[in-house]
Structure 1
Amino acid sequence: MKDIVTLWRPTGQAELDLVAGSGWRAWPPRLPDQPIFYPVANRWYAVKIAREWNVPAEGVGYVTRFDVDAAFLARYPVQQAGGRDVLEHWVPAEDMDEFNAHIVGSIVRETEYRAGVDGPGLPDAWREYLAGESWFRSGFLADGTSLTVFTPAETSTVDGGVLVGEDGAGRAVVLDARTGTVTLGDARHDLAAFVRLLEW
């Protein structure tokens, strides 16, 4: 079995649509003003770029994850692009076909972040989270749970709480405004702890 390296890539909607069009198997060719493809070596850096660059620029940012054959990737050593943990691989545009041929498995859309939205009628702390610069819309939590957080227009009232999302099994995520707790599956979290789950 090949040794693999897991990489991440922050991306916007247009690029993600092209990846989806490839069957989640390849990155699109670079545009003329994009001579280098920059996959990153750690998740936190991909999240930072998606939230701080893609979301303000496009209203949405995604973090993708994919595996590459380690022996092939060694051709593109890790580059430190800023701070100690700001690590990238620099793949020339002309190498994209060969790079894509060495992706192992599928490209996974790990998380989606959205620009802040107004949530009138929602509990104050939750409204503030959704109105922030970017918020977790959907994807995987650190424990592998798949989750979708609803926009304010998608929320509804249920048994004294607010339906604010659902997990991958279709189970409701309910915010109890009276107690400030969120029920996710069989677990109950205070709202601050729930937001920390989203911000991993």
Structure 2
Amino acid sequence: MAAAGWRAWPPRLPDQPIFYPVLNRWYATKIAREWNVPAEGVGYVTRFDVRRSYLDRYQVQQAGGRDVLEYWIPAEELDDFNAHLVGAIIAEAEYRGPVDDEEFTDAEEALGRALPEAWRTYLQGESWFRRGWMTTEAYVWLNSPRETLEVHEAWDQATVTHPGIAIIGGDGSREQLVLDLRSDPAPVLLVDIASDGWDTAIRQADDVSQLIDRIEAGTFAFDLKD
């Protein structure tokens, strides 16, 4: 898709005679988390628009429950389908498979502190939210333990001025979601990349379990007010 400027779906593989675009995010998320992540280690939810006059050629198929709705587009008709896309294909969310124990062990040794058990449980579940859009229109990016260490290395001296910090995510730009591991439970705070200490950090959740619950519900929003 990237090679086509995110404006066309790639040809189907020989064992994929049908392209199955689905009609709602719930079903797309279910496919990404329950099928794609176990098979590939990663699953994506995308959103795109197709001209109604073209889609009316096809029947909506109910492949299970009331909300399990999809179109069946023959692989040989995919070029025509792509020609009727309106705008770009948007990546709504990315999910990842379980993080192994070794990665957590390495991170905790480097940090000199244990990460919250709830964070380990979430990232070692069948799938976890890696990045994407909330229903609040907030864009959230979560880090694996290995990525946390990579961000710490990039921050360099700034981690020294934030003792006990673990950078577990952010907004994909300046703002970082962090844990203050000096406390138990560790609160989730928002810190700007230019911050020179904890004084300007803004609390986002009392602990990481609250953050996870809001992300899974799609209701998380960054609190930017001190």
Residue pairs, 1:1-200, within 5 angstroms: 19-117=1-99, 118=101, 119-120=104-105, 121=108, 122-155=115-148, 156=152, 158-177=162-181, 178=183, 179-184=185-190, 188-190=204-206, 191-199=208-216, 200=218
Q: Equivalents in 1 of 2:82, 2:190: separation in Å? A: 37
Seen in structure 2, the aligned counterparts of structure 1 residues 111 and 41 have a Cα distance that, compared at 3 Å, is: same
| Runs (5+) with no aligned partner, structure 2 | 109-114, 153-158, 192-201, 219-226
Aligned CA distance change for structure 1 residues 188 and 69 (closer, same or farther; 3 Å)? same
Partner Cα separation in structure 2 for residue 44 and residue 159 of structure 1: 40
Structure 1 CA distance for aligned equivalents of residues 37 and 15 of structure 2: 21
Q: How much has 1:184 moved relative to structure 2?
A: 4.2
CA offsets 1:156-199 (integer angstroms, 9 cap, x no match): 46433321012133211012342443224755123233112322
- Point out 4+ residue stretches in structure 1 off by more than 3 angstroms: 156-159, 184-187
Structure ranking higher in helix proportion: 2
Following the alignment from structure 2 to structure 1, what is the Cα–Cα distance between the partners of residues 139 and 188? 16
Cα deviation code 1:79-134 (max 9, x no counterpart): 10011111101111121111101111000111111111032332111111111111
Given residue 42 of structure 2, which amino acid in structure 1 is its aligned partner? V
Q: Is the 8 A contact 2:22 2:71 kept in 1?
A: yes
* Identity rate, percent: 58
* Larger CA Rg, structure 1 vs 2: 2
Deviates more, 1:166-175 or 1:148-157: 148-157
TM-score (norm 2): 0.74
Q: CA deviation at 1:59?
A: 0.8
- CA 1:187–1:40 in 2, change beyond 3 Å: closer, same or farther? farther
Q: Distance in 2 between matches of 1:174 and 1:166?
A: 8
Answer with 111-120 or 39-48: which moved more. Answer: 111-120
What CA distance in whole angstroms lies between the structure 1 residues aligned with 2:69 and 2:189?
Answer: 37
Question: Structure 1 residues 184, 72: closer, same or farther in 2, change over 3 A?
Answer: farther
Shift of 1:70: 1.4
Q: CA RMSD in A?
A: 1.8
Normalised TM-score (structure 1): 0.84
Larger proportion of strand: 1
